[in-house]
Structure 1
């Protein structure tokens, strides 16, 4: 999960109420008091598909909730307009995921288990996704995240209950190699020694091995204070492009490294940032420092048509980050239940890979239902792009946006990259 972040202050005042969106879909009866977060009551499998959403309405990531909730709302409206699932309307239970500082998500999952949810869509945070996977396995409750990009999620033991419609951050390395290394560019990568940094480096190395385009690798970590020796080594390699992979949490180091690289002649179009350090630097760097610097962020770009569909259901929502991925997660869950002829969580989990790949391509719920009249094998390719789940619940290919900075230190989308 990446964020449109500002360095001057924590995002505030942008909390989208999930109630604005959930009022547009079926409204189940009020829930009884939540049990303890360790409840493992099995989903009902009574023929009604109940979707529980876990998007943030409180906490540091609350600004991400509205777009994803709206994506689910649009999908459910369209599913129900086309007859629902197994002849019954889909129901939605919206719950807060909170952020990593609270146990909100655990309480919400317990609440949703009691509500007999069959599948969960969310959360926005990779850390929260990692935290609750054991609960999914215990409850036999599949979860599809539209926004969790951590490379660690690919190797977690989810027993086939965790999926994501957003690509793993590791695929940024493939995307960068494809975009920068397509010609004869000489590339140096500076990477932070963490899971993501190592994964991006590994992908770039593999993709560029044949061409020899990767001419230098420099490692930094939490104790790296002086960027001078790193920049000197970069300069000695005489690269055409420098890729800088680091977490948002290392922002003091990020600012220092960007400043020194720019002074050494490796700023502007030569410098490439990645999803965790592509941020709003307008308050942190002098005007002009980032002019023409490139950035990469995961996720599809909402089309005008999809934006209009969102506006019809949730007119107050304007930030559509991960909305398309949330929409596709919902459609895939509905199709899995349809093919399984069972809205039970375990049945949905078993069919999610099947409906995402290998069959007759269909791009809408209605179209997929039409295909199922004559064939049992469909391949849903949604509005966020082709989605094919593997054995780890990862999706490929992954869709990234190419961004470019202006003189003020703000960035805007200028292109799209598909990798994987």
Structure 2
């Protein structure tokens, strides 16, 4: 079955200022006892167990190394709730927001903040922005029966660990970019010889396997498959093997956990002659290298990052919530997460977390398409079977809480070793 059933091309020249070690999350594996549904289901007939007011908790990093991510996601949630409340709220009551700080991985802020959200009777949590923190939040969500929807957690491994139906994400998993890479590198008329150089940790391996599977759909194989460790300092053997294979393109699959080795590997690969479009980076190493290499070192190098680019209209909407906003990363995904939670509560006629978790899959796919909250409410007048498509893309949940298809952006490095958005595509 092809993974390229829907492709949308968007061309632009927007610069992206930061890239983050964003994260992933796994979703619910549906069992008889799981709140997730495998197919569209009718409105539950049980009596509502919520208190009548949908309380949305947000758990974004307002302190710590990744605090720069919080503002855009906060604005995305605020924009969604403003729209929802302007249309009558959820089940006749305005939605309430409870915001807390997730902190960073080296602290216990996440646990303390989640406990605070539970004490304030939130029904759904939007966040966190880190895969590491998402992993720690999931068991807390399961215990509290409160669904967590992350706009930014991307690690593929989360889906393999947790399957209780309370974790969802509106951002594609890290390994899904294998299909975006395959389309870009092997989807043209000219066959390319491709080398994959990666750190064999959980993420590098997951991307490797997906990339190999995606290339097979184009009858293409890797001509070199080289591994380096985060502790590697000598890349001579790896470079020799790559050069011997004579690839047209080298892809580097590594994360910020191996940032020192990644920089060294990139430098060696460029020095070996794989410059410009002959070198591709992946979402957790496509970053700002303006301070790492001499100007022009990465000029023309390509990169792939998950997440859509906001339209001018949506940027205006975000700025209505925060006029000082300059970065919009994950804002659209946070907006869509909030919309899906509200629509699930409406279809369930219940704002309780367990009810929302059980309907999130249903409202995301398979029904009558609607592109805004007001449009979905209009559809719900005659049918409970809706399919919300959001500002970040189709946002169709899988039974595991992932989204498929997902949006991926293609980037090119400029003369200052900074990446600039070129175009994007939806793969699914």
TM-score of the aligned structures, taking structure 2 as reference length: 0.87
Contact 2:229 2:261 in 1 (8 A): no
Structure 1 residue 4 corresponds to structure 2 residue 18: yes
Q: What residue is the counterpart of 2:30 in the other structure?
A: none
Show the counterpart of 1:198. 205
Is contact 2:308–2:408 with CA below 8 Å preserved after alignment? yes
Instruction: Identify the residue that residue 36 of structure 2 maps to in structure 1.
Output: none
Post-superposition shift, 1:224? 2.3
1:276 aligns with 2:281: no
The equivalent of 2:196 in structure 1 is: 189
Question: Which residue of 1 is the match for residue 354 of structure 2?
Answer: 346
Correspondence for 1:129 = 134
In structure 2, the residue matched to 1:160 is 165
1:367 matched to 2:371? The reply is no
CA contact (8 A) 1:173 1:199 kept: no
Query: Which residue of structure 2 lines up, in the alignment, with residue 94 of structure 1?
Result: 99
Q: Which moved more, 1:91-100 or 1:208-217?
A: 208-217
Give the match's secondary structure for 1:206.
helix
CA contact (8 A) 1:181 1:213 kept: no
Query: 2:8 is matched with which residue?
Result: none
Partner Cα distance (2:183, 2:309) in 1: 19
CA–CA separation in structure 2 for the residues paired with 1:178 and 1:251? 27
Any idea what the Cα deviations from partners look like across 1:365-394, whole Å, max 9, x if unmatched? 000010111111000000000011112111
- Aligned partner of 1:404 in structure 2 is 412
Cα distance in structure 1, aligned partners of 2:327 and 2:104: 19
Local SS of the residue matching 1:391 = coil
CA drift of 1:209 comes to 2.1
Q: Deviations over 1:142-193 (max 9, x none)?
A: 0100000001111122410000000000101111011111131111100111
Question: Which consecutive aligned stretches of 4+ in structure 1 deviate over 3 angstroms post-superposition?
Answer: none
- Paired residues for 1:233-382 under 5 Å: 233-382=241-390
3-state SS, counterpart of residue 369 of structure 1: helix
TM-score by length of structure 1 reads: 0.89
In the other structure, the counterpart of 1:138 is 143
Aligned-pair distance for 1:283? 1.1
Cα shift at 1:128: 0.2
Aligned length: 383
Q: Match for residue 153 of structure 2?
A: 148
Q: 2:397 aligns with which of 367, 370, 389?
A: 389
User: Which of 92, 105, 113 is matched with 2:110 structurally?
Assistant: 105
Residues 175/98 of structure 1: CA separation in 2 closer, same or farther (3 Å cut):
same
Q: CA deviation at 1:92?
A: 0.3
1:323-372 alpha-carbon deviations (Å, 9 max, x no partner): 00000000000000000000000000000000001001001000001011
Residue aligned with 1:389, SS: coil
Shift of 1:295: 1.0
d(CA) in 1 for partners of 2:109, 2:122: 17
2:389 aligns to what SS in structure 1?
strand
Answer whether contact 1:258 1:267 (CA < 8 A) is retained.
no
Secondary structure of the structure 2 residue equivalent to 1:386: coil
Unaligned segments of structure 1, at least 5 residues = 7-42
* C-alpha separation in 1, matches of 2:162 and 2:412: 37
Shift of 1:3: 9.2
CA distance in 2, matches of 1:54, 1:223: 33
Which residue does 1:62 correspond to in 2? 67
Stretches of structure 2 lacking an aligned partner (at least 5 in a row): 1-15, 21-47
CA distance in 1, matches of 2:116, 2:224: 51
Q: Give the CA RMSD over aligned residues.
A: 1.5
> Equivalent of 2:235, from 199, 207, 227?
227
- Offset, 1:222: 2.5
Cα distance in 1 for partners of 2:228, 2:427 equals: 26
Structure 1 contact 155–392 (Cα < 8 Å) conserved? no
Which structure has more RCO (C-alpha within 8 Å, separation ≥ 6)? Answer: 2
CA contact 1:124–1:146 (8 Å) conserved in 2: yes
Q: CA deviation at 1:269?
A: 0.8
